[in-house]
Structure 1
Amino acid sequence: MEIFRSATGQFKKSDDQREYASALDQLSKSLASSETLRAELGQSEDVWKSLTEFWSSAEQLDLDDEAASGLLLSFTKFNRNLVGGNVSNQNRSFPNLLPICGLIRHLTSFGLINDSKTLPLLRMMLQLVANNLTLNEHLVDRFWGPFVQLDEVNNFLVRSNQSKDIGVSTVVSILVRNCIHASPSQISSYFSSSTGRKLALSLLDKIDTLSDSEHDTPEDMAFDIGYRIFEQLFQLHATHSLWKSLAASGEPVTPAQIVLIKLLDVFLQDFPDTFSPSTELNFLIPEFCHICVYTEAIMQDALRTGSDSMVDSSLSLVYQALVLLCQCILSVVLKEQEKPGSDPFTQQAKTDVSFEGKGLPETIIGKYRCKLDLFLPRVMHGKSLPTVPLGNAHSDTSGFAYVKRDLVRLLGALVYDDKAIQDRVRECDGIPVMMNLCVTDERNPYLREHALFTLRNLLHKNVENQKVVDSIRPSGAWDEEGVLRDVPGATRK
């Protein structure tokens, strides 16, 4: 115990500090591998007295002094290993988190947050906080309010996540994930608050930055941990509240919402049976319809004015949102079709009337009536054809490239074996729209195949729809001599 008593500020010489730091490092190694030793040291009042005295005066250490900063790192490592997996030690160490988080705020100041000399200390302190809370619901509940529910300036998690160091970002994500696991209800509700929004924005921004990381790299691991945070939040029914908290006044969709819906799209590829999309994700349908109406208004205005400057600036994110929301809705609908008789989300998608008396099927058909092809080069028979220009050519069409295909897929799923929805598509003149999509389009892989499948679903056991298709036959045909001849009985359309 002499090590702890001597290392709490009673020494002055750098040589002594290095000696104590070396002794602490050796003890820390033993603690990491021995639960028994952690329990024994945790019963020593001298240990806790020494730790308390040290942390209360640690802010006075000169971090520019190599020996002093080394001692601080060693104490942090010792404390981290002492509380690992030991509830009693966690409880005894908890009061020291106040000065520790104060030091973290100092280490995340503008001049230090990316300083290579202090980054190891920042990582170690965050690991200490994480270990002190892991699987301890009581402490997480006590910790989250006074330490995290602060403004952006004082929130040490938000500040730490601004570091460019991947190790720091990884520990922040681990800490948040551990807290959610220990106290799911409190932490999930926190993310819908104004202060929680800052942390959510910080985490989503970091995930977006790491999304293109190479496999089996530290960046890839950090991305996976970040995704697991939101996977937990999805399962805790926090999706809608997160979506609303990330919104911005006057904007149809924000970059953070795009990242969120990307993560949701991944989650919905194979969501667990315990997850209930009918109650948690019902907001996706009106949001999708709202964005459809927004894009239609922008496009119609561009057609009226002959200018596409607003289209370029307004639809970059919206194109992505259309595709992602469509894919999310489609994933749930297809999942429910695997279990006949249990499709509450699908039924809602079919019956909801979101805007101007229109439901989802009518909104999808309306999307194709906006002369969408005027906003991108048309492709027919494998050849790109020029279109009537609206101004400068669009530089980024990647988001739009899959809109037509995914809308067709969604409509095909909705009309499958449902005569009422088939009739609604016919009543809004949607059948000719689908027929016009049954052509090769190199920008939309498999658009033709999906359109044919959707048309098949529209006609299945529906005589009225079959009559519509039968009436739309070629009015003429080329004979062997190259002369266009009328087809008897054909109706011109």
Structure 2
Amino acid sequence: MNGSYPSVACNRIQFGAGDVWTEMHKLWRDLAHAQLTFWDRDDSDDGEDAGSIKERRKQHSLSLLCVSLARFIRNLVAGVPRNQIKAFEDEPVIRRLLHYYTSWTSMEDEEASFAARILTQMLSNIITGNEMLISNLWETYFKLQEEQVVLIRLLASPNNRILLAVFTIIISCVHDSRSRTKILTRTSIGARICVLLLDDMVKLFDAEEGSDGARAYSIFTRIIEYGLIPDLYSKLTITDEIITPHQTTLLKLLDSYLQSTPVSSPGTRSRITKTHARLCPMLSNLCFSLSTYAQTAIRKSLHSPSSDVVSDDNINSPPAELDVLLPKVCEALVLTAQCIITITLASHGSHQRTSPSSSNSTASRTENIHEFFNQVNAEGVGLVENLVELLRLLDRFLPRINFGKPVATTYAEPHAQQQKGKTPASSEQELTPAVDNPGFNFLKRDLVRLLGILCSDDGAVQDRLRNCGGIEVVLNLCVVDERNPYLREHAIFALHNLLKDNPANQALLEGLEPSAQWDKDGVLQDIPGAVRK
């Protein structure tokens, strides 16, 4: 025996080299048959009470045998490839037992839940470190019908220790394999698994089980680094829904990853820049579509029932229609904007750090990332024009909060009267002011910050912002708003970037005169004789 093996590993190798596997295969088959056909037998001759007690004892014995056998195999296969291969021959039987112990009725039973956990840990040990078995298991599971995929049933378990075991299996399968990760993000079964992973992450973090949630986070880290987030995001789409809860959670994970992954070395810089470049199309399209949706919803809410025009005369009228999805859309828009901000700042910093000896592909990619978000469509409208229009509407729609009080509320409280026999949009539920919904937090701040970054040192974008009224919009955001911490500072910085080395923008600003001023109570009052632009 090779003396380099620890004594425990030697024992595993020696024991697994004997005839034990013939007996193990037979024992697994007999156990599965006894367990799966247990309720087919009729023991009613012993009387109802006696029969029930007898059945419970037999069931308990079968569960104990299953747990003991799984523990034995779990230890026997650890780190021994030959034992893993022999144990994997029983995977179909193990899968059938897992299917039984993860049924809805079984998962309510503590004993069955414990058996499912030990079986899952055993399955994890069987494949860990064995590329051939990992590929075999992954391909097999994704060819099954959804109800037969035990990973899905295990991820639906309320037991956190079971979740930890199945996370370990999935991590082993996606680690260092873009092809297997691609299957996870592009198939219906994979999307179902990811939905459950996202649900489990929310549950674990809410329950302060951060370490367990970190296991699931590492799965999504692989998905991000392989450039497969756009595929998964598309798979999570629901027809006629602009954004889904799982897509929002995915954006949160993406935002967290981008902000926690520093560009520290040339090798890391190249890999991260490549990841960023893969995300640009999805983030650009998503930001544009979410912003457009929000604009449409806000316009509908700002219109009075008798007018199709948003004006100062009707913005204090009861909203004609309020979209209940708008807060969720704005929450997703904040996350998307933060992702774009992180990517563009990283590309700018990476471009500055790129030395003449660095690869030309990396340098050009960092430049293209910034330029990508400043493209215009066939109508001559780009992301910056779209965001300016949204900020213009938000200035009317969202009341500014100063000293804990909303200022210049954009619409009146709901009223009970009906006009022309129609009930207002709030007929089924009471309308609440936008100030009360956390979905709007940080929205103005992050959007104006993004504008400031996109126009930085780019004269063409500065001119586009001037032509669409962006200077006036940014100027109006140089205020204090408790819903948008540091809004004024970010708006001032954006204004600085708009004016830098741009005489036309500087001249426009010099020609502007304030049409209103803030009084001592923080309320905007019109200046007599001034004309609004």
TM-score, structure 1 as length reference: 0.85
User: Structure 1 pair 222/405, CA: closer, same or farther in 2 (3 Å)?
Assistant: same
Give the aligned partner of residue 68 of structure 2: 74
Is residue 334 of structure 2 the alignment partner of residue 323 of structure 1? yes
Is residue 398 of structure 2 the alignment partner of residue 376 of structure 1? yes
Residue type of the alignment partner of 1:384: P
Contact 1:409-1:454 within 8 A present in 2 as well: yes
Give the aligned partner of residue 371 of structure 2: 347
Matched residue SS, 1:433? helix
> Which runs of 5 or more structure 1 residues have no equivalent in the other structure?
1-30, 479-483
Write out per-residue CA displacement over residues 208-241 of structure 1, whole angstroms, 9 at most, x where no aligned residue. 2223343xxxx22211001000001111111110
Is residue 231 of structure 2 the alignment partner of residue 241 of structure 1? yes
Mean alpha-carbon deviation: is it higher for 339-348 or for 326-335?
339-348
Give the aligned partner of residue 51 of structure 1: 24
Contact 1:471-1:491 within 8 A present in 2 as well: no
Give the aligned partner of residue 500 of structure 2: 460
User: Structure 1 pair 475/101, CA: closer, same or farther in 2 (3 Å)?
Assistant: closer
Is residue 216 of structure 2 the alignment partner of residue 226 of structure 1? yes
RMSD: 2.7
Contact 2:127-2:134 within 8 A present in 1 as well: yes
Give the aligned partner of residue 382 of structure 2: 359
Give the aligned partner of residue 13 of structure 2: 39
User: Structure 1 pair 492/230, CA: closer, same or farther in 2 (3 Å)?
Assistant: closer
Whole-angstrom CA distance in 2 between matches of 1:485 and 1:296: 29
Give the aligned partner of residue 26 of structure 1: none
User: Structure 1 pair 104/310, CA: closer, same or farther in 2 (3 Å)?
Assistant: farther
Whole-angstrom CA distance in 1 between matches of 2:131 and 2:384: 46
Is residue 441 of structure 2 the alignment partner of residue 428 of structure 1? no
Give the aligned partner of residue 252 of structure 1: 242
Give the aligned partner of residue 432 of structure 2: 393
Whole-angstrom CA distance in 2 between matches of 1:462 and 1:300: 33
Write out per-residue CA displacement over residues 8-36 of structure 1, whole angstroms, 9 at most, x where no aligned residue. xxxxxxxxxxxxxxxxxxxxxxx998111
Matched residue SS, 2:401? strand
User: Structure 1 pair 141/475, CA: closer, same or farther in 2 (3 Å)?
Assistant: closer
Residue type of the alignment partner of 1:42: G
Corresponding residue to 1:175 among 162, 169, 178: 169
Residue type of the alignment partner of 1:376: L
Matched residue SS, 1:211? helix
Shift of 1:359: 0.8
Write out per-residue CA displacement over residues 230-258 of structure 1, whole angstroms, 9 at most, x where no aligned residue. 00111111111001101111111111111
Whole-angstrom CA distance in 2 between matches of 1:334 and 1:167: 40
Whole-angstrom CA distance in 2 between matches of 1:448 and 1:50: 75
Mean alpha-carbon deviation: is it higher for 428-437 or for 415-424?
415-424
User: Structure 1 pair 410/476, CA: closer, same or farther in 2 (3 Å)?
Assistant: closer
Is residue 191 of structure 2 the alignment partner of residue 197 of structure 1? yes
Contact 1:401-1:443 within 8 A present in 2 as well: yes
Whole-angstrom CA distance in 1 between matches of 2:188 and 2:462: 44
Contact 2:173-2:180 within 8 A present in 1 as well: no
Residue type of the alignment partner of 1:226: A
Whole-angstrom CA distance in 2 between matches of 1:476 and 1:155: 64
Shift of 1:441: 1.0
Aligned residue pairs, count: 449
User: Structure 1 pair 397/476, CA: closer, same or farther in 2 (3 Å)?
Assistant: closer
Residue type of the alignment partner of 2:332: A
Shift of 1:166: 0.4
Residue type of the alignment partner of 2:260: D
Whole-angstrom CA distance in 2 between matches of 1:485 and 1:169: 63
Contact 1:475-1:491 within 8 A present in 2 as well: yes
Corresponding residue to 2:101 among 90, 104, 107: 107
Contact 2:151-2:166 within 8 A present in 1 as well: yes
Mean alpha-carbon deviation: is it higher for 113-122 or for 144-153?
144-153
Matched residue SS, 1:379? strand
Shift of 1:280: 3.7
Write out per-residue CA displacement over residues 265-301 of structure 1, whole angstroms, 9 at most, x where no aligned residue. 0110133521311134421101110111111111112
Corresponding residue to 1:264 among 238, 254, 267: 254
Matched residue SS, 1:34? helix
> Which runs of 5 or more structure 2 residues have no equivalent in the other structure?
39-54, 262-267, 306-317, 352-362, 415-430, 519-525
Whole-angstrom CA distance in 2 between matches of 1:152 and 1:138: 23
Is residue 77 of structure 2 the alignment partner of residue 83 of structure 1? yes
Residue type of the alignment partner of 2:194: A
Whole-angstrom CA distance in 1 between matches of 2:210 and 2:517: 58
Whole-angstrom CA distance in 2 between matches of 1:348 and 1:238: 19
Contact 1:380-1:439 within 8 A present in 2 as well: no
Shift of 1:449: 0.6
